[in-house]
């Protein structure tokens, strides 16, 4: 069975995004249901997969990363309102037998992602 994981890199400071809060949602049309909240560890990863085994189902999902809180928490002087506060990545899982890794590479002003395995 497959699994879903993530990794956060703070490229503004050249280090993992440690202690960053994230939330995982299942999306069904206009409805979102919260599946899990977590915080990244010292390496910018979650200690366990976000979903795995039977919990990983084909469908639409969203990962919300609380980037503004993270940057404020490490002392970055941010404008009000924050340019990037919550970074939401909407993605689909087509084959639940595969691994889906959704990393976030971020600064207070930009972000990128890709599908890893």
CATH number for the domain that contains residue 42: 2.60.40.180
What's the token pair of residue 14?
A: 């050249």
CA distances to 6, 19, 104 from 39, rounded to whole Å, are 11, 5, 14
Domain assignment present for residue 68? The answer is: yes
pTM: 0.96
Domain count, the chain: 1
Per-residue pLDDT of the chain (117 residues; tens, 9 = 90+): 899 999 999 999 999 999 999 999 999 999 999 999 999 999 999 999 999 999 999 999 999 999 999 999 999 999 999 999 999 999 999 999 999 999 999 999 999 999 998
Domain assignment present for residue 116? The answer is: no
Domain assignment present for residue 53? The answer is: yes
Domain assignment present for residue 96? The answer is: yes
The residue segments making up the domain with residue 14 are 3-107
């Amino acid at each position: 069975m497959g699994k879903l994981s993530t990794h956060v890199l703070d490229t503004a400071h050249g280090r993992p995004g440690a202690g960053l809060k994230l939330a995982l949602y299942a999306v069904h049309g206009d409805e979102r249901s919260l599946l899990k909240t977590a915080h990244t560890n010292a390496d910018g990863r979650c200690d366990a997969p976000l979903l795995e085994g039977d919990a990983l189902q084909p469908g639409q999902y969203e990962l919300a990363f609380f980037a503004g809180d993270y940057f404020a928490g490490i002392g970055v002087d941010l404008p009000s309102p924050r340019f990037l506060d919550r970074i939401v990545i909407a993605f689909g899982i087509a084959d639940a037998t595969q691994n889906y890794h959704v990393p976030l590479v971020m600064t207070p002003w930009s972000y990128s992602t890709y599908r890893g395995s």
